Chain A
Amino acid sequence: MSIQSCVEVRNEWDIVSARQLGRNMAKELGFGTVDQARITTAISELARNIYLYAGHGKVCIEAVEEMGKKGLKIIATDKGPGIRDIRKVMEDGYTTSGGLGAGLPGVKRLMDEFSIDSSVNVGTEIIATKWIR
């Protein structure tokens, strides 16, 4: 049993709502200010990827508990074009949008656990978790 909150991402303003949701939940769960910033930033990166590359998708956030640890899980899903070469997008500095290319590898560093599942023309699902220290 876990409570899940989701934000549909269709435009730039949804990115802001997604990260506000994440920040509030991180605060409620008792994350410190640094980890709150990490979580908010990770959500912002994931939501922006959805907006930029898939156009439409959603970001869900839920509280998780495992072996006495409490944490927060972000699930970002879209039915966009998918990622052809996952290894490539996980390289620092790789970008197709003219950004800094810090997005996905950055999210991986911001969070404690990170997994990515993507099929071309089907969509992408990224799950990232942060545990309370």
Chain B
Amino acid sequence: MRIPILKMHEYLLISIQVELDDQTALQFQEDLLKRIHDTGAKGVVIDLTSVDMIDSFIAKVLGDVVRMSKLMGAQVMLTGIQPAVAITLIDLGISMREVPTALDLEQGLDKLRLELEE
């Protein structure tokens, strides 16, 4: 299974709509880094509105993706994390403080634009 990655101007947009298994998550990591390389995107928004569970493995993959993308010059923003998911992550002891977040796709794009234009 592949997660589609959309390109819009200098941004890449991803909306995760499927139950993430380990393989899909790792495949996504690879695909995204390749797309950043190919397109030279400056910003990435990963929307998690439809995701109802993030365990420590997926959290690690997401955190890694953010750091790897940054190394390649792209700022990643996670958006739409649901309250139940946030509470579970906090219970697990994962606060992802270094990962930028926004309420939804729209605000994520606004925040990215602001940060990248500064």
- What residues of chain A have their CB less than 8 Å away from a CB belonging to chain B? 12-13, 15-16, 19-20, 23, 33-34, 36-38, 40-41, 44-45, 48, 92-93, 99-100, 102-103, 105-106, 109-110
Contact = CB atoms under 8 A, between A and B. Distances in A.
Given A15-B22, A100-B94, 7 more contacts: A40-B52, A40-B53, A41-B55, A44-B53, A48-B22, A48-B55, A110-B88
Given A33-B84, A106-B91, A16 B56 contact: no
Contact of B56 (A19, A23, A33, A103): A103
Give the contact-size bracket for chain B.
20 to 34
B53 A106 contact: no
Contacts of B82: 37
A109 B17 CA distance: 28
B93 A106 contact: yes
Given A45-B55, A99-B57, A100-B56, A38 B91 contact: yes
A34 B83 contact: yes
In order of increasing CB-CB distance, the 9 nearest A-B pairs are A106-B92, A37-B84, A44-B55, A102-B56, A12-B22, A34-B84, A102-B92, A109-B91, A16-B21
Interface of B: 19, 21-23, 52-57, 59-60, 82-85, 87-88, 91-94
Main secondary structure of the interface of A (DSSP, over half): helix
B88 A41 contact: yes
Contacts of B84: 33-34, 36-38
A110 B88 CA distance: 7
Contacts of A20: 19
Contacts of A16: 19, 21
Given A45-B56, A99-B56, A100-B59, A12 B93 contact: no
B54 A41 contact: yes
B21 A12 contact: yes
A44 B52 CA distance: 13
A7 to B, nearest CB: 14
7 contacts: A20-B19, A34-B84, A41-B55, A44-B53, A99-B60, A100-B59, A102-B59
A41 B21 contact: no
A37 B93 contact: no
Contacts of A12: 21-23
B60 to A, nearest CB: 5
